[in-house]
Amino acid sequence: MLRSHGRFPYSAITNRPSFTWPEERRLAIHVSLNLEHFAYGEGLGISYSPGLPHPNTYNWGWREYGNRVGVWRLLELFDEFKLPVSLLLNSEVYDHCAEVVAAFRARGDEVVGHGRTNSEHQNDFDEAGEKKLIDDVTSAIKRHEGKPPAGWLSPGVNPSNVTPDLLEEAGYRYILDWPIDDQPVWIRTRKGRLLSVPYPQEVNDIPMIALHHGTAEAFADVIVANFDEMQRQSRRQSLVYGIALHAFIMGQPFRIQALRRAFEHLRKADEGTWFATTGAIADHFIATVPSN
């Protein structure tokens, strides 16, 4: 018998209870923007400077471009297409560039916990250290936003074995760390349960562009093709479609053109779709679908 995580059993998507999103819509779409800050000279992350020791100024500056320039260009695009955003936030951003978070707050977007900084991963800590990390992030977001976050994506999407337990015990309702399904899935914790909301591993600019060296145009084609096929499939079964972005990647001017083309397609063919935040998706599922 292979080792199991013990969090959830296998479940074929073809054998699930029927449900719909608000107003009988079948496809829920979320756009999630990762807003991150790295320690200078210490940060983790993907290197874009082959042959140079990592971390280095070049890579830190690449990410900082997203906070200084790229995110503002993306905000204009989100406003143009009236897209709600799930802001996956390193809490260190509050001290580094608080005005960026304020711009999303003014739009009414959701702030989702994404660690203190992507310079550290939860697997680097013992349980007590990880609990403090989660508490630090929760307190910072509650202090600035007036309420604690409901959802969490681990830095580097690299949770520890106890991350779901600690999050549920800290009052979180959902997690984005498990790219296992096209519908939300309940996962067990040691004291209860936590909802896994689909977060994309493929329709994600980090693997598509930084890892697989895809072009902005190819990424836009992925967004469009995934939408067209999921919209077709959702006629018989409600689904979740997530798009994951990073300001330092898709906030580059030449990539924004391609992203605009993809968003234009989604908005023109959006019959039966619901553009929502990850938290709204979680709340509706929790209220609508009985847990098994």
Q: For 71-93, write each residue's pLDDT tens digit.
A: 999 999 999 999 999 999 999 99
Q: Quick check: is 103 in a domain?
A: yes
Q: For 24-55, write each residue's pLDDT tens digit.
A: 999 999 999 999 999 888 767 776 666 666 66
The total of structural domains in the chain comes to 1
Q: Compute the distance between CA of residue 286 and CA of residue 288 in angstroms, rounded to an integer.
A: 6
Q: Is 208 helix (H, G, I), strand (E, B) or coil?
A: helix
Strand partners, 275: 29
Q: Quick check: is 107 in a domain?
A: yes
CATH of residue 167: 3.20.20.370
Q: Quick check: is 53 in a domain?
A: yes
Q: Quick check: is 16 in a domain?
A: no
> Which are the contacts of 260, defined by CB distance < 8 A and separation ≥ 6?
77, 80
Q: Quick check: is 178 in a domain?
A: yes
Mark out the alpha helices in the chain (DSSP H runs).
Answer: 57-65, 71-80, 93-107, 127-145, 163-169, 205, 216-233, 247-250, 253-268, 278-288
Q: What is the residue whose two structure tokens read 């994404």?
A: 114
Q: Quick check: is 152 in a domain?
A: yes
Q: Quick check: is 10 in a domain?
A: no
At 113, the amino acid letter reads G
Q: With contact defined as beta carbons under 8 Å apart, do 150 and 279 qualify?
A: yes
pLDDT at 164 over 70: yes
Q: For 110-137, write each residue's pLDDT tens digit.
A: 999 999 999 999 999 999 999 999 999 9
Residue numbers of the domain that contains 118:
22-288
Predicted TM-score (pTM) of this structure: 0.95
Q: Quick check: is 12 in a domain?
A: no
